[in-house]
Amino acid sequence: MKNFINLKDIPISDLRKILTDAKKRKIKRKKLNTLDLDKDKPLKGKLLIQMFEKPSSRTRLSFYLAIKQLGGGTITLKSNEIHLGKGGESLADTAKILSTYGDGFMLRTDSDEKILEFSKNLKIPVINGLSPSSHPTQVLSDVFTVEEIKRKPISKLNITWIGDCNNVLNSLIAASIKFSFKLNIGCPKNYKPKKFVLDWVKKNKSKINFFDDPKKAVKNADVIFSDKVISLNDKVNVKKKKKDFSKFRINKSLINQAKKDVIFLHCLPRGNEVSEDVFLGKHSHVWQQALNRVHVQKSILLYCFGKLR
Protein backbone atom coordinates (compact mmCIF):
# COMPACT_ATOMS: atom_id res chain seq x y z
CA MET A 1 0.00 0.00 0.00
CA LYS A 2 1.28 3.47 -0.93
CA ASN A 3 -0.01 7.01 -0.44
CA PHE A 4 -0.10 9.60 -3.22
CA ILE A 5 0.17 12.92 -1.40
CA ASN A 6 2.94 14.95 -2.99
CA LEU A 7 4.98 14.30 -6.14
CA LYS A 8 8.16 15.37 -4.39
CA ASP A 9 7.93 12.34 -2.05
CA ILE A 10 7.40 9.72 -4.77
CA PRO A 11 10.44 8.14 -6.47
CA ILE A 12 10.79 9.02 -10.15
CA SER A 13 10.94 5.30 -11.00
CA ASP A 14 7.44 4.89 -9.52
CA LEU A 15 6.12 7.99 -11.32
CA ARG A 16 7.49 6.62 -14.61
CA LYS A 17 5.93 3.21 -13.93
CA ILE A 18 2.55 4.89 -13.40
CA LEU A 19 2.83 6.76 -16.73
CA THR A 20 3.90 3.64 -18.62
CA ASP A 21 0.98 1.65 -17.23
CA ALA A 22 -1.45 4.48 -18.06
CA LYS A 23 -0.23 4.55 -21.66
CA LYS A 24 -0.69 0.77 -22.07
CA ARG A 25 -4.15 0.80 -20.49
CA LYS A 26 -5.29 3.79 -22.55
CA ILE A 27 -4.30 2.06 -25.80
CA LYS A 28 -6.10 -1.16 -24.77
CA ARG A 29 -9.35 0.76 -24.14
CA LYS A 30 -9.62 2.31 -27.60
CA LYS A 31 -12.72 0.37 -28.59
CA LEU A 32 -14.36 0.19 -25.17
CA ASN A 33 -17.28 2.22 -23.84
CA THR A 34 -16.97 4.57 -20.90
CA LEU A 35 -18.13 2.07 -18.31
CA ASP A 36 -16.69 -1.09 -19.88
CA LEU A 37 -14.16 -2.68 -17.56
CA ASP A 38 -10.47 -3.18 -18.35
CA LYS A 39 -10.12 -6.89 -19.21
CA ASP A 40 -7.98 -7.75 -16.19
CA LYS A 41 -10.30 -5.98 -13.68
CA PRO A 42 -7.38 -5.48 -11.29
CA LEU A 43 -9.42 -3.69 -8.60
CA LYS A 44 -12.43 -5.99 -8.69
CA GLY A 45 -14.29 -5.76 -5.38
CA LYS A 46 -12.40 -2.68 -4.15
CA LEU A 47 -14.04 0.48 -2.85
CA LEU A 48 -12.56 3.97 -3.21
CA ILE A 49 -14.05 6.48 -0.78
CA GLN A 50 -13.84 10.05 -2.08
CA MET A 51 -14.34 13.07 0.14
CA PHE A 52 -14.59 16.67 -1.01
CA GLU A 53 -14.30 19.66 1.29
CA LYS A 54 -14.49 21.96 -1.71
CA PRO A 55 -16.03 21.86 -5.19
CA SER A 56 -14.80 19.54 -7.93
CA SER A 57 -16.06 18.43 -11.34
CA ARG A 58 -13.08 16.77 -13.04
CA THR A 59 -11.39 15.12 -10.06
CA ARG A 60 -14.68 13.66 -8.86
CA LEU A 61 -15.72 12.31 -12.29
CA SER A 62 -12.31 11.08 -13.33
CA PHE A 63 -11.79 9.10 -10.11
CA TYR A 64 -15.29 7.69 -10.47
CA LEU A 65 -14.49 6.42 -13.97
CA ALA A 66 -11.00 5.32 -13.02
CA ILE A 67 -12.03 2.96 -10.22
CA LYS A 68 -15.06 1.72 -12.19
CA GLN A 69 -12.98 0.82 -15.25
CA LEU A 70 -10.60 -1.11 -13.00
CA GLY A 71 -13.51 -3.20 -11.74
CA GLY A 72 -14.06 -1.46 -8.38
CA GLY A 73 -16.55 1.06 -7.09
CA THR A 74 -16.66 4.42 -5.37
CA ILE A 75 -18.74 6.41 -2.95
CA THR A 76 -18.45 10.17 -2.60
CA LEU A 77 -18.77 11.83 0.78
CA LYS A 78 -19.35 15.51 1.38
CA SER A 79 -17.47 16.62 4.46
CA ASN A 80 -20.51 18.53 5.80
CA GLU A 81 -22.59 15.36 5.74
CA ILE A 82 -20.35 13.16 7.88
CA HIS A 83 -19.46 13.31 11.58
CA LEU A 84 -15.81 14.28 11.19
CA GLY A 85 -15.07 17.34 13.33
CA LYS A 86 -18.67 17.51 14.49
CA GLY A 87 -20.42 15.82 17.38
CA GLY A 88 -17.06 14.97 18.89
CA GLU A 89 -15.94 12.43 16.26
CA SER A 90 -12.18 12.60 15.97
CA LEU A 91 -10.22 12.29 12.76
CA ALA A 92 -8.67 9.10 14.14
CA ASP A 93 -12.10 7.50 14.61
CA THR A 94 -13.24 8.59 11.14
CA ALA A 95 -10.02 7.17 9.68
CA LYS A 96 -10.62 3.87 11.45
CA ILE A 97 -14.12 3.70 9.98
CA LEU A 98 -12.91 4.59 6.47
CA SER A 99 -10.32 1.82 6.77
CA THR A 100 -12.98 -0.62 7.93
CA TYR A 101 -15.38 0.00 5.04
CA GLY A 102 -13.11 1.07 2.19
CA ASP A 103 -9.92 0.14 0.40
CA GLY A 104 -8.67 3.60 -0.56
CA PHE A 105 -9.40 7.23 0.34
CA MET A 106 -9.22 10.24 -1.98
CA LEU A 107 -9.42 13.59 -0.24
CA ARG A 108 -9.80 17.16 -1.53
CA THR A 109 -9.22 19.48 1.37
CA ASP A 110 -8.37 22.97 2.56
CA SER A 111 -5.78 21.58 4.93
CA ASP A 112 -2.47 19.88 4.13
CA GLU A 113 -2.24 18.94 7.80
CA LYS A 114 -5.50 17.01 7.51
CA ILE A 115 -4.10 14.81 4.72
CA LEU A 116 -1.05 14.08 6.85
CA GLU A 117 -3.22 13.29 9.86
CA PHE A 118 -5.28 10.93 7.74
CA SER A 119 -2.13 9.27 6.40
CA LYS A 120 -1.03 8.58 9.98
CA ASN A 121 -4.38 7.12 11.02
CA LEU A 122 -5.59 5.25 7.95
CA LYS A 123 -4.83 1.60 7.23
CA ILE A 124 -5.68 2.21 3.56
CA PRO A 125 -3.92 4.45 1.01
CA VAL A 126 -4.73 8.15 0.86
CA ILE A 127 -4.64 10.20 -2.35
CA ASN A 128 -4.41 13.98 -2.39
CA GLY A 129 -7.13 15.23 -4.74
CA LEU A 130 -6.00 18.86 -4.30
CA SER A 131 -4.79 20.67 -1.21
CA PRO A 132 -3.64 24.25 -0.64
CA SER A 133 -0.05 23.23 -1.35
CA SER A 134 -0.38 20.78 -4.24
CA HIS A 135 -2.44 19.02 -6.90
CA PRO A 136 -0.34 15.95 -7.69
CA THR A 137 -2.84 13.80 -9.62
CA GLN A 138 -3.50 16.72 -11.98
CA VAL A 139 0.14 17.38 -12.71
CA LEU A 140 1.22 13.77 -13.18
CA SER A 141 -1.59 13.46 -15.68
CA ASP A 142 -0.41 16.67 -17.35
CA VAL A 143 3.08 15.19 -17.81
CA PHE A 144 1.34 12.26 -19.54
CA THR A 145 -0.60 14.64 -21.83
CA VAL A 146 2.52 16.61 -22.76
CA GLU A 147 4.44 13.44 -23.69
CA GLU A 148 1.44 12.02 -25.55
CA ILE A 149 1.03 15.13 -27.71
CA LYS A 150 4.70 15.97 -28.18
CA ARG A 151 5.81 12.31 -28.53
CA LYS A 152 8.97 13.09 -26.56
CA PRO A 153 10.11 12.72 -22.97
CA ILE A 154 9.19 15.89 -21.10
CA SER A 155 12.87 16.34 -20.16
CA LYS A 156 13.50 17.35 -23.80
CA LEU A 157 10.87 20.12 -23.78
CA ASN A 158 10.69 23.71 -22.59
CA ILE A 159 7.77 24.13 -20.26
CA THR A 160 6.36 27.53 -19.25
CA TRP A 161 3.89 28.41 -16.54
CA ILE A 162 2.16 31.78 -16.78
CA GLY A 163 0.10 32.74 -13.76
CA ASP A 164 -0.32 32.44 -10.06
CA CYS A 165 2.18 30.55 -7.90
CA ASN A 166 -0.40 28.17 -6.52
CA ASN A 167 -0.94 24.49 -5.67
CA VAL A 168 -0.86 23.35 -9.32
CA LEU A 169 2.39 25.21 -9.94
CA ASN A 170 3.93 23.69 -6.78
CA SER A 171 3.23 20.25 -8.20
CA LEU A 172 4.59 21.31 -11.59
CA ILE A 173 7.77 22.46 -9.85
CA ALA A 174 7.97 19.07 -8.12
CA ALA A 175 7.48 17.38 -11.50
CA SER A 176 10.18 19.57 -13.04
CA ILE A 177 12.65 18.37 -10.43
CA LYS A 178 11.59 14.72 -10.64
CA PHE A 179 11.35 14.51 -14.45
CA SER A 180 14.18 16.96 -15.01
CA PHE A 181 12.53 19.42 -17.37
CA LYS A 182 13.17 23.12 -17.90
CA LEU A 183 10.47 25.27 -16.34
CA ASN A 184 10.02 29.00 -16.89
CA ILE A 185 7.62 30.71 -14.54
CA GLY A 186 6.05 34.03 -15.56
CA CYS A 187 4.40 35.89 -12.68
CA PRO A 188 4.48 39.35 -11.07
CA LYS A 189 7.56 39.96 -8.89
CA ASN A 190 5.69 39.96 -5.59
CA TYR A 191 3.77 36.71 -6.28
CA LYS A 192 6.64 34.20 -6.22
CA PRO A 193 6.07 30.73 -4.63
CA LYS A 194 6.23 30.28 -0.86
CA LYS A 195 9.64 30.02 0.80
CA PHE A 196 9.42 26.26 1.36
CA VAL A 197 8.98 25.78 -2.41
CA LEU A 198 11.82 28.15 -3.30
CA ASP A 199 14.11 26.45 -0.76
CA TRP A 200 13.32 23.12 -2.35
CA VAL A 201 14.02 24.52 -5.84
CA LYS A 202 17.39 25.82 -4.60
CA LYS A 203 18.30 22.58 -2.85
CA ASN A 204 17.62 20.56 -5.99
CA LYS A 205 19.61 22.83 -8.32
CA SER A 206 16.68 22.66 -10.66
CA LYS A 207 16.23 24.15 -14.13
CA ILE A 208 13.59 26.64 -12.98
CA ASN A 209 13.66 30.33 -13.87
CA PHE A 210 11.36 33.20 -12.91
CA PHE A 211 10.36 36.06 -15.22
CA ASP A 212 8.24 39.12 -14.54
CA ASP A 213 7.89 39.65 -18.29
CA PRO A 214 5.49 37.04 -19.75
CA LYS A 215 7.00 37.44 -23.24
CA LYS A 216 10.43 36.41 -21.96
CA ALA A 217 8.89 33.49 -20.04
CA VAL A 218 7.26 31.98 -23.15
CA LYS A 219 10.24 32.41 -25.48
CA ASN A 220 11.02 28.98 -27.04
CA ALA A 221 8.24 27.33 -25.06
CA ASP A 222 6.95 23.94 -26.26
CA VAL A 223 4.17 24.00 -23.68
CA ILE A 224 2.40 26.84 -21.88
CA PHE A 225 0.45 26.03 -18.73
CA SER A 226 -1.87 28.27 -16.82
CA ASP A 227 -4.49 28.18 -14.06
CA LYS A 228 -6.94 30.56 -12.40
CA VAL A 229 -5.47 33.65 -10.79
CA ILE A 230 -7.85 33.21 -7.86
CA SER A 231 -7.76 29.68 -6.42
CA LEU A 232 -10.38 28.05 -4.21
CA ASN A 233 -8.33 28.62 -1.06
CA ASP A 234 -7.30 32.20 -1.90
CA LYS A 235 -8.14 34.72 0.76
CA VAL A 236 -6.91 37.82 -1.02
CA ASN A 237 -8.06 41.14 -2.35
CA VAL A 238 -9.49 39.69 -5.55
CA LYS A 239 -9.67 42.99 -7.42
CA LYS A 240 -6.05 43.86 -6.65
CA LYS A 241 -4.72 40.40 -7.50
CA LYS A 242 -6.55 40.33 -10.82
CA LYS A 243 -5.15 43.76 -11.65
CA ASP A 244 -1.62 42.69 -10.70
CA PHE A 245 -1.90 39.75 -13.12
CA SER A 246 -3.52 41.70 -15.96
CA LYS A 247 -0.37 41.79 -18.13
CA PHE A 248 0.01 38.00 -17.69
CA ARG A 249 -3.15 37.20 -19.64
CA ILE A 250 -2.49 34.52 -22.26
CA ASN A 251 -3.71 35.81 -25.60
CA LYS A 252 -2.76 35.21 -29.23
CA SER A 253 -0.01 37.77 -29.21
CA LEU A 254 1.68 36.05 -26.25
CA ILE A 255 1.26 32.60 -27.82
CA ASN A 256 2.99 33.97 -30.94
CA GLN A 257 6.15 34.59 -28.90
CA ALA A 258 6.52 30.85 -28.20
CA LYS A 259 7.49 28.06 -30.61
CA LYS A 260 5.15 27.70 -33.60
CA ASP A 261 3.85 24.33 -32.43
CA VAL A 262 3.46 25.34 -28.78
CA ILE A 263 0.60 23.67 -26.93
CA PHE A 264 -1.59 25.31 -24.31
CA LEU A 265 -2.78 23.38 -21.25
CA HIS A 266 -5.04 24.42 -18.37
CA CYS A 267 -6.40 22.23 -15.58
CA LEU A 268 -9.75 24.05 -15.46
CA PRO A 269 -11.87 25.69 -14.19
CA ARG A 270 -10.72 28.81 -16.03
CA GLY A 271 -11.05 32.51 -15.36
CA ASN A 272 -9.91 35.58 -17.19
CA GLU A 273 -6.22 34.51 -17.32
CA VAL A 274 -6.61 33.16 -20.87
CA SER A 275 -8.44 34.63 -23.82
CA GLU A 276 -11.35 32.70 -25.32
CA ASP A 277 -9.63 32.36 -28.72
CA VAL A 278 -6.53 30.77 -27.17
CA PHE A 279 -8.52 28.52 -24.86
CA LEU A 280 -10.63 27.22 -27.74
CA GLY A 281 -7.97 27.64 -30.41
CA LYS A 282 -5.66 25.27 -32.27
CA HIS A 283 -2.87 25.32 -29.67
CA SER A 284 -5.17 24.29 -26.85
CA HIS A 285 -5.47 20.63 -25.77
CA VAL A 286 -7.44 21.18 -22.59
CA TRP A 287 -10.18 18.61 -23.26
CA GLN A 288 -7.69 15.83 -24.00
CA GLN A 289 -5.85 16.95 -20.86
CA ALA A 290 -9.02 16.61 -18.77
CA LEU A 291 -9.84 13.16 -20.14
CA ASN A 292 -6.32 11.86 -19.53
CA ARG A 293 -6.90 12.24 -15.82
CA VAL A 294 -9.04 9.11 -15.96
CA HIS A 295 -6.23 7.10 -17.53
CA VAL A 296 -3.45 8.31 -15.26
CA GLN A 297 -5.51 8.10 -12.09
CA LYS A 298 -6.25 4.45 -12.87
CA SER A 299 -2.52 3.75 -12.71
CA ILE A 300 -2.19 5.94 -9.60
CA LEU A 301 -4.89 3.79 -7.96
CA LEU A 302 -3.04 0.61 -8.97
CA TYR A 303 0.17 2.05 -7.52
CA CYS A 304 -1.58 2.89 -4.24
CA PHE A 305 -3.30 -0.48 -4.02
CA GLY A 306 0.01 -2.31 -4.65
CA LYS A 307 -1.21 -3.69 -7.99
CA LEU A 308 1.03 -1.85 -10.44
CA ARG A 309 3.05 -4.28 -12.51
Out of 59, 160, 171, 284, point to the residue binding ligand CP (CB under 6 A). Answer: 59
Out of 231, 275, 279, 308, point to the residue binding ligand NVA (CB under 6 A). Answer: 231
Q: Does residue 289 belong to the site contacting ligand CP (CB under 6 A)?
A: no
Within residues 164-183, the interface with ligand NVA by CB under 6 A covers 166-168
- Indicate left, alpha or beta for 126 from its phi (over 0: left) and psi (-120 to 50: alpha): beta
| Beta strand segments in the chain, E | 47-52, 73-78, 104-108, 126-128, 158-162, 182-186, 208-211, 223-226, 263-266
Q: CB of 138: closest distance to ligand CP in angstroms? A: 5
Question: Looking at beta carbons only, is 222 or 227 nearer to ligand NVA?
Answer: 227
Q: Does residue 268 belong to the site contacting ligand CP (CB under 6 A)?
A: yes
C-beta separation of 141 from 293 below 8 A: yes
Residues in CB range of 211: below 8 A, 6 or more apart: 184, 185, 186, 217
Q: Does residue 270 belong to the site contacting ligand NVA (CB under 6 A)?
A: no
Q: Does residue 58 belong to the site contacting ligand CP (CB under 6 A)?
A: yes
| SS (HEC) of 241-265 | HHHHCHHHCECHHHHCCCCCCCEEE
Instruction: Output phi, psi for 175, to 5 deg.
Output: -65, -40
Distance CA 160, CA 270 (A): 17
Q: Does residue 119 belong to the site contacting ligand NVA (CB under 6 A)?
A: no
Q: Does residue 60 belong to the site contacting ligand NVA (CB under 6 A)?
A: no
Instruction: Report in angstroms the alpha-carbon separations of 272 from 185, 190, 276.
Output: 18, 20, 9
Q: Which residues form the catalytic set? A: 108, 135, 138, 227, 267, 293
Q: CB of 232: closest distance to ligand CP in angstroms? A: 8
- Could you tell which of ligand NVA, ligand CP, none binds residue 57, using a CB distance below 5 to 8 A set by kind? ligand CP
Distance CA 110, CA 117 (A): 13
C-beta separation of 30 from 59 below 8 A: no
Task: Look up residue 156 and give its amino acid.
Answer: K
Q: CB of 87: closest distance to ligand CP in angstroms? A: 29
Binding string, 100-139, against ligand CP, x = CB under 6 A? ------------------------------x-------x-
Q: Would you tell me which residues interact with ligand CP (CB under 6 A)?
A: 56-59, 130, 138, 267-268
Q: Would you tell me which residues interact with ligand NVA (CB under 6 A)?
A: 130, 135, 166-168, 227-228, 231-233, 267
